[in-house]
Every structure is written in C-alpha cells, then in structure tokens.
Amino acid sequence: MRSVAFHTLGCKVNQYDTQAMREALTEDYRIVSSEEGADIYIINTCTVTNRADQKSRQQIRNIIRKNPEALVAVIGCYAQRFPQKIAEIQGVDLILGNGEKIGITSFLNGGEKNSRSEIFVKNIDSYSRYDTLSVSKHHSHTRAFVKIQDGCQNYCSYCIIPYVRGKERSRPLENILEEIGGLVRNGFKEIVFTGIRLGSWGQDLNGRTLNHTVQGEVALAILLERVSGIEGLKRIRLSSIEPRDLNEELIDRIAQLPKVCPHLHIPLQSGDNKILKAMNRPYDTFYYRDLIEKIREKMKGVAITTDIMVGFPGEEKEEFENTYDFAKKMKFSKMHVFKYSPRPGTSAAQLKRRVGEQEIKKRSERLLGLSLKMQEEFSRLFLGKTLEILVEKRRRNNYLAGLTDNYIKVAFNGPENLVNKIVRVKIGEIKKGYVIGRLA
Ligand code: SAH
C-alpha cells in the first residue's frame, strides 16, 4: 500500500475537506503524518489573502524539496484560482480544484508519478448541488467539524471566496444527520457546523430533501432542531454566520435549544458605515448593534466573537477610529483581525486610496490589543461561577484544559480520564490571560 500525507491551510471548511479526503482514501492507501515520510503528499490550499497564497506556495516548495521522489498533489482554493502559477513550481504532479476533492481517489490513480504536472480544475460555477464526502472522526478527539454547505454568492467587494467556492449549495438534511450520528457513536460530544456561508443553508433545498417549503433563514433553525434531537450529542456550535443571515425568529428558536452553544461568531469587518457600503456588506452599524442587543437579551452569557478587517481602501484615521470605538462598545469576547489584501479579480482591487502597510500594521496591533482586553473582561464576568467544560487535553504542568459552551478556555487540575468528559469547574482566577478553575 502506498502512503499519503496531508497538509491543510486556511479555514475550518478546508480542515473538514481534508478529513473527508483522508477517509475517502483509507481503503486504498496508508494515511501517515508528514514526518513519517509519504509516497504521496496532498496539499489543501487557501487563497483568502495574498499571505495565504504565499504560505500555500511555501508549503508546496518545502514538501517538494524534502521529498523529491514523492507524488505531490495540490488541491483547494489557491489551486482553483491559479492553477498555472502552481504548474510553474517544479515538481508538482497534480493540480486539482475544489470540485475535484470528491473524486480524489480517481485523480490519484494509485499514486503513479507523472513526468509533468497535470491540471484538472473544473469551473466551480458548474456545480449546483452539494457533493458529499463524509467524515466519521476528526483530528481533535472531542470536537468535530461538520460541513453543512459550500459556496457563497454575497460578493463582498474585497473577497475572492465566491470565485473559488462557487454557488451556494446545501447539504441535504438526512445526510447531515447521518454524519453526526456516526460522529456521536465514535465518541464526539461537540460538533461545529461549518460552511462558506452557513446562513444560506436550506435555501436551495426547498421541497427536495426537506418535506416542506423552507422560508429563508428559518431553515437553519429547522436543521438545529433536528440535530438537537440526536441522543448523546451534547453541544452544537455554529462557526461564522453573517449578520444578515440572523433574524429575530432564528435567534428566538436557537435560544430555545439548550444544546446550541451560546457563542456566535458574527463578522463585522468595519464599524464605519461608509466602509461597510464600499465593502458591499449588506448592513450598517445600527442593524449590527440591534442584532447584538437582541441576541444578548435572548441568550444568557452569550459570547459574541467577530472578524474585523483593517486597511480597506479609503479607511482613513477617522473611519478606523469609528471601527475601534464601535468594536469596543460591542464588547466582543474575541476579534480576529485581518489586514486588507487586494485580491485580483475582486472589485475592491481596483480602488484607489490604499492604506500604507505600516499604518495597517499599527491598526491591526491596536485592535488585537483591544481584543485581548475584551477577552479578559468577558472572562471576568464568570469569576466565582461554576461552568461546564468539555475537557480537551492535558497541557503542561498537569493542567487539563477545555472550553465552556461560551468559548472560554479554562485550565484546571484533574486526572487524565476526564478528557472528553463534560465537567463542572468553578472559575477561580485569571492570570496573564489564562482562566484557571477548580473541579466543582
Ligand atoms: N463570509 C465569511 C468570511 C470568510 S473569510 C464568514 O461568514 O465568516 C474569513 C475572513 O477573512 C473574513 O471575515 C475577512 O475578514 C477576511 N478576508 C476576506 N477577504 C479578505 C481580503 N481580501 N483581505 C483581508 N482579509 C480578508
């Protein structure tokens, strides 16, 4: 049997896709870690920013340098976008797009190495149905990602993703339930719903796999209700969801479901209305603030996390300060900060009034500082309280660590056999950003 090793760059969807490809190959190949050395390397790439492109290329070159004899296959978003650029790298054998992930077995063709690189990248817009590869486990042993849809048709002016992930395609309900059932039987207590635009789930399924017509955003509520019924599953977490994809009814219904974690990641991008408009984001700060207020009213102890982009063209000092102040008011419990990176082919890439690199760096650092502060402030709200933790792993100094449903990472002393159990921990102190508790 030939051996295969995977490398993954980028988002949770990519991590899920890698896991699914890994499982699709287990019958015919031996799956190994990169360090063991493999006959075949599959690199699942990312192209969200220029830096992601660079990292993808670096990874490809590194692997070729260390394993000149191996078959090297490059797949995923960067390959979908720039197959020719990858073909220019000496030593790449196979270049596959996102649509080719499902057929990975046939493309590898037993792992025979070719003399020159072959490109198989189909136009991603030709896919109008969700193609299924499924998973039964995940590399972390407690939380598993479950992909429920692919694609995005929002076309934010800065974003390349719609061009590499294609149309919004929802995974059929029964298929999702089946996968989660299997994961729970394999011991997983928490699943994380992932997708490129989670909130669009169900819109293309009307009448087909759901036996009644689904009205817009409420589809997601139906899915969450059905998944909540799975016995043995303890927690359902949503990864990122767009502000416009949350409405009052959806929030109301989610709030009724105890298994759905009080943690929502809602990308804001900017706290300035002019910039939001230029980004083609379909909301303003008033809408966003109202939304957060409604969520906080309905979900007690909810953690709201977000993505913010700095240095979008035309973001002057004033617009940035608006973002900073707005973020502070929103009391996020964490922010992911992205530095704007012009993506060829997007409309924002044409915009003048670019912000300088040094200035972008400074703004990013200020927001990251604010994020740390807000994170600590959020944790402080729970000092002295007893919270449930899903124990993930043992860390140094005998500490165990795990996450609360509202995404606070807590370290505490306890025996190894608590890993993958849900335990009650009293929050005792916060030291240098670490939240420390004691078994209750
Ligand atoms: N719509 C997705 C976001 C996908 S990409 C969601 O629901 O979460 C994740 C993040 O990458 C975005 O939130 C954005 O902040 C960042 N990003 C996307 N395009 C970018 C670009 N051109 N430059 C810098 N950051 C970008």
Buried b (16+ CB within 10 A) or exposed e, 51-63: ebbebbbebbeeb
Spell out the residues 6+ positions from residue 132 whose beta carbon is closer than 8 angstroms to its own. Answer: 102, 171, 175
Q: In this structure, are residues 309 and 273 in contact, taking their beta carbons and an 8 Å threshold?
A: no
The mean pLDDT of the chain is 94
Query: Count of CB atoms within 10 A of residue 312's CB?
Result: 28
pLDDT at residue 212 is higher than 60: no
Cβ–ligand 1 distance for 223 under 6 Å, the answer: no
Q: Whose alpha carbon is nearest atom 24 of ligand 1?
A: 340
Cβ–ligand 1 distance for 341 under 6 Å, the answer: yes
Alpha helices in 256-396 (DSSP H): 273-278, 285-298, 317-330, 357-380
Per residue in 325-347, pLDDT tens? Answer: 999 999 999 999 999 999 999 99
pLDDT at residue 284 is higher than 90: yes
Per residue in 32-90, pLDDT tens? Answer: 999 899 999 999 999 999 999 999 999 999 999 999 999 999 999 999 999 999 999 99
Query: Count of CB atoms within 10 A of residue 89's CB?
Result: 15
Cβ–ligand 1 distance for 340 under 6 Å, the answer: yes
Average pLDDT (397-421) is 92
pLDDT at residue 308 is higher than 70: yes
Q: Inter-axis angle of helices 317-330 and 285-298, to 10 degrees?
A: 10
* Paired residues of 235 in beta bridges: 190
Q: Which of 9, 268, 338 to mutate to test the pocket of ligand 1 (most atoms within 8 A of CB)?
A: 338
Q: In this structure, are residues 24 and 53 in contact, taking their beta carbons and an 8 Å threshold?
A: no
Q: Which of 11, 15, 46, 48 to mutate to test the pocket of ligand 1 (most atoms within 8 A of CB)?
A: 48
Give the E-state strand segments of 66-175 in sequence order.
71-76, 94-96, 118-120, 143-147, 149-150, 169-170
Q: Kindly give the distance from the C-alpha atom of residue 48 to the centroid of ligand 1, in angstroms, as a whole number.
A: 7
134 closest CA partner among 80, 181, 190, 97: 181
Q: Whose alpha carbon is nearest atom 6 of ligand 1?
A: 240
Q: Residue 132 has what pLDDT?
A: 82
Query: Count of CB atoms within 10 A of residue 300's CB?
Result: 9
Q: Whose alpha carbon is nearest atom 10 of ligand 1?
A: 307
Per residue in 220-277, pLDDT tens? Answer: 999 999 999 999 999 999 999 999 999 999 999 999 999 999 999 999 999 999 999 9
* Paired residues of 4 in beta bridges: 31, 40
Cβ–ligand 1 distance for 49 under 6 Å, the answer: yes
Cβ–ligand 1 distance for 48 under 6 Å, the answer: yes
Q: Kindly give the distance from the C-alpha atom of residue 307 to the centroid of ligand 1, in angstroms, as a whole number.
A: 7
Q: Kindly give the distance from the C-alpha atom of residue 159 to the centroid of ligand 1, in angstroms, as a whole number.
A: 7
Q: How far apart are CA 281 and CA 154, in angstroms?
A: 8
Using DSSP's 3-state secondary structure scheme, residue 45 falls into strand
pLDDT at residue 210 is higher than 70: no
Predicted confidence band at 141 (pLDDT cuts at 50, 70, 90)? Answer: confident
Cβ–ligand 1 distance for 280 under 6 Å, the answer: no
Q: Kindly give the distance from the C-alpha atom of residue 287 to the centroid of ligand 1, in angstroms, as a whole number.
A: 20
Predicted confidence band at 209 (pLDDT cuts at 50, 70, 90)? Answer: low
Spell out the residues 6+ positions from residue 291 whose beta carbon is closer than 8 angstroms to its own. Answer: 243, 246, 266
Could you give all domains of the chain from N- to C-terminal order, each with its CATH number? 3-122 (3.40.50.12160), 143-378 (3.80.30.20), 386-439 (2.40.50.140)
**What is the CB-side half-sphere exposure of residue 310 using CA atoms within 13 A?**
26
pLDDT at residue 214 is higher than 80: no
Which helix (DSSP H) or strand (DSSP E) does residue 238 occupy?
Answer: strand 235-238
What pTM did the predictor assign?
0.95
Identity of residue 264 = L
Structure tokens at 14: 């990519």
Per residue in 90-132, pLDDT tens? Answer: 999 999 999 999 999 999 988 887 767 899 999 999 999 998 8
Share of the chain above pLDDT 70, in %: 96
Q: Whose alpha carbon is nearest atom 18 of ligand 1?
A: 159
Using DSSP's 3-state secondary structure scheme, residue 213 falls into coil
Cβ–ligand 1 distance for 305 under 6 Å, the answer: no
Q: Residue 204 has what pLDDT?
A: 87
Q: Residue 206 has what pLDDT?
A: 66
Cβ–ligand 1 distance for 306 under 6 Å, the answer: no
Q: What is the DSSP letter of 254?
A: H
Q: Kindly give the distance from the C-alpha atom of residue 116 to the centroid of ligand 1, in angstroms, as a whole number.
A: 34
**Cα–Cα–Cα angle for 381, 387, 391, nearest 5°?**
125
Q: How far apart are CA 396 and CA 401, in angstroms?
A: 10
**Please, what is the end-to-end C-alpha distance for the chain in angstroms?**
50
Q: Whose alpha carbon is nearest atom 5 of ligand 1?
A: 48
The order of strands in the sheet holding 334-339 is 263-265, 303-310, 334-339
Which atom, in ligand 1's list, is nearest to the CA of 336? 15
Structure tokens at 205: 């399924």
Q: Whose alpha carbon is nearest atom 8 of ligand 1?
A: 240
pLDDT at residue 139 is higher than 80: no
Q: How far apart are CA 271 and CA 284, in angstroms?
A: 8
Spell out the residues 6+ positions from residue 184 whose beta carbon is closer than 8 angstroms to its own. Answer: 230, 231, 232, 233
Which helix (DSSP H) or strand (DSSP E) does residue 435 occupy?
Answer: strand 434-439
Q: Kindly give the distance from the C-alpha atom of residue 434 to the centroid of ligand 1, in angstroms, as a whole number.
A: 28
